[in-house]
């Protein structure tokens, strides 16, 4: 049973959309035809029956029952958005308390109870990697290089929310809401605009743009988080894009398997599978996020033939050591999500405290090679306004006649003969 009064009764995130979009999101209007509020996905219910599970413990922490806790809408309605709400379930560091009060007008905070439940103790010297990603901190107020739109996406958008950088593909930003507002998000500038979430005009114009450009064969549906919509709204969007003859593949960028796995139901996956080829890229950053709940979410997708890739971001204190990255990549393969990209963090404002040196990333990549299957090694990327640049440890030491002088994965010199003929 839903009981919004138990805790966080006034914690609903302030509406970002027009009244129409907010209505749609809240389950009226466009979403009416969708799943009922009390929909209880069996696969998550089973997990919650174990009292030691993250689901059962999270429900207890937030003083609700498991059946309510596995409803993704409940989490969106009970996002933790203030220091007072967060302090009900954990002790906040001073930097976090200040972050909540000083940054609210810059980049809203919002964290699902599920993701809050993954947080552990945190100190200045040993911060919790989950908290670093989701809770505002006073360090965000100082940044020497960060800017609002580091990829100049607005300049690359021929129509609003369609980023067209490469000739054959577009990023279609239909969503604004997210289960968790990641502190390093390079699209945080959109937070200040109202009415972007599944905005009918934006969607109509975007689809018209894609339909009128035969070169576009790959559409990435992103946001915000495009899974924060009803099954019916997602299917409606998919059907319209799939109806465009030149669109070959449809991809989703979503962090819901990480921050709100209950959203990724077998039912949603079965809808996506009707529009194959459909791919999903998600965004795990650290081993603590690889929970049994997340595994169910990923399995729901892959069991429906949807390949799942992972795009991590290298973040100081979160995953900036070899062992942390090794554990992440290994765990991803165990849940059948393939490590795809490791992004060096974008120079987005308020994130300098989270950005490690590129040397750190290069060293991690060098150590991964040879210590884990190549299938588990993501491509390390610096994303620029003109496209993604892969960066790698330099294994080519020189040329000698027809031979190439290489560094092998053990760090030894190797002469590969006759490859320069």
Complex with ligand SF4: residue 97 or 351, whichever CB lies closer: 351
- The span from the first CA to the last CA of the chain, in angstroms, equals 72
Complex with ligand SF4: residue 66 or 119, whichever CB lies closer: 119
Complex with ligand SF4: residue 156 or 189, whichever CB lies closer: 189
Q: Does 119 bind ligand SF4 (CB under 6 A)?
A: no
Please pick, from the candidates 115, 181, 279, 340, the single residue that binds ligand SF4 as defined by CB under 6 A: 181
Complex with ligand SF4: residue 169 or 187, whichever CB lies closer: 187
Query: How deeply is 27 buried, as exposed, middle or buried, from its count of CB atoms within 10 A (0-12, 13-18, 19+)?
Result: middle
Q: In the bound complex, what is the minimum distance in angstroms from residue 381's beta carbon to ligand SF4?
A: 15
Q: In the bound complex, what is the minimum distance in angstroms from residue 223's beta carbon to ligand SF4?
A: 6
Q: Which residues contact 48 (CB under 8 A, 6 or more apart)?
A: 55, 56, 59, 66, 67, 69, 70
Span of 8-16, 177-185, 299-307, 346-354 interacting with ligand SF4 by CB under 6 A = 177-185
Q: Return d(Cα 146, Cα 137) in angstroms, integer.
A: 16
Handedness of CA 156, 134, 331, 270 (dihedral sign): negative
Q: In the bound complex, what is the minimum distance in angstroms from residue 418's beta carbon to ligand SF4?
A: 47
Q: In the bound complex, what is the minimum distance in angstroms from residue 181's beta carbon to ligand SF4?
A: 5
Size of the site for ligand SF4 (CB under 6 A): 9
Cis peptide before 224 (omega within 30 of 0): yes
Q: 182-221: which residues touch ligand SF4 (CB under 6 A)?
A: 182, 185, 187
Contacts with ligand SF4, 144-163, as mask; x by CB under 6 A: --------------------
Place of tokens 């081993």: 287
Q: In the bound complex, what is the minimum distance in angstroms from residue 254's beta carbon to ligand SF4?
A: 8
Handedness of CA 222, 227, 231, 232 (dihedral sign): negative
Residue nearest to ligand SF4 (CB): 185
Complex with ligand SF4: residue 48 or 226, whichever CB lies closer: 226
Please pick, from the candidates 178, 286, 296, 318, the single residue that binds ligand SF4 as defined by CB under 6 A: 178
Q: 218-277: which residues touch ligand SF4 (CB under 6 A)?
A: 223-225, 255
Span of 19-27, 176-184, 208-216, 370-378 interacting with ligand SF4 by CB under 6 A = 176-184
Q: In the bound complex, what is the minimum distance in angstroms from residue 224's beta carbon to ligand SF4?
A: 5
Q: Return d(Cα 97, Cα 381) in angstroms, integer.
A: 33
Complex with ligand SF4: residue 58 or 224, whichever CB lies closer: 224
The closest of 247, 250, 322, 260 to 281, measured between CA atoms, is 250
Longest dimension (CA), the chain: 76
Say if CB 329 and CB 372 are below 8 A apart: yes
- What's 176's DSSP letter? -
Q: Which two tokens stand for residue 285?
A: 């950053």
Query: How deeply is 145 buried, as exposed, middle or buried, from its count of CB atoms within 10 A (0-12, 13-18, 19+)?
Result: exposed
Residues of this chain that interact with ligand SF4 (CB under 6 A) are 178, 181-182, 185, 187, 223-225, 255
């Amino acid at each position: 049973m839903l009981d919004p009064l138990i805790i966080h009764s006034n914690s609903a995130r302030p509406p970002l959309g027009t009244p129409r979009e907010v209505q749609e999101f809240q389950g009226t209007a466009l979403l009416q035809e969708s799943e009922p509020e009390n929909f209880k996905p069996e696969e998550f219910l089973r997990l919650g029956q174990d009292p030691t599970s993250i689901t059962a413990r999270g429900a207890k922490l937030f003083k609700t029952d498991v059946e309510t806790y596995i409803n993704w809408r409940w989490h969106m309605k009970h996002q933790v958005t203030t220091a007072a709400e967060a302090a009900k379930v954990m002790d906040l560091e001073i930097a976090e308390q200040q972050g909540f009060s000083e940054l609210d007008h810059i980049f809203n905070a919002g964290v699902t109870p599920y993701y809050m439940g993954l947080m552990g103790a945190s100190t200045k010297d040993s911060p919790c990697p989950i908290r670093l990603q989701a809770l505002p901190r006073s360090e965000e107020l100082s940044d020497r290089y960060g800017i609002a739109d580091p990829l100049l996406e607005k300049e690359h958008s021929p129509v609003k929310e369609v980023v067209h950088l490469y000739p054959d593909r577009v990023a279609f930003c239909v969503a604004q809401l997210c289960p968790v507002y990641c502190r390093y998000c390079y699209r945080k500038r959109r937070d200040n605009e109202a009415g972007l979430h599944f905005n009918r005009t934006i969607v109509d114009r975007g689809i018209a743009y894609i339909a009128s450009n035969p070169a576009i064969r790959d559409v990435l549906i992103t946001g915000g988080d495009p899974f924060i919509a009803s099954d019916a709204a997602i299917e409606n969007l998919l059907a319209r894009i799939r109806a465009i003859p030149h669109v070959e593949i449809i991809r989703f960028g979503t962090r819901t398997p990480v921050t709100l796995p209950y959203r990724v139901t077998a039912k949603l996956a079965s809808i996506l599978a009707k529009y194959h080829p459909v791919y999903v890229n998600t965004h795990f950053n650290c081993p603590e996020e690889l929970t049994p709940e997340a595994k169910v979410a990923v399995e729901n997708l892959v069991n429906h033939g949807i390949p799942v890739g992972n795009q991590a971001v290298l973040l100081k204190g979160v995953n900036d050591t070899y062992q942390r990255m090794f554990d992440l990549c290994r765990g991803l393969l165990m849940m059948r999500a393939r490590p795809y990209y490791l992004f060096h963090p974008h120079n987005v404002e308020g994130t300098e405290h989270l950005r490690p040196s590129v040397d750190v990333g290069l060293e991690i990549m060098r150590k991964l090679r040879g210590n884990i299957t190549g299938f588990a090694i993501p491509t390390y990327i610096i994303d620029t306004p003109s496209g993604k640049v892969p960066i790698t440890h330099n294994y080519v030491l020189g040329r000698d006649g027809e031979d190439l002088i290489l560094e092998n994965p053990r760090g030894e010199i190797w002469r590969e003969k006759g490859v320069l003929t």
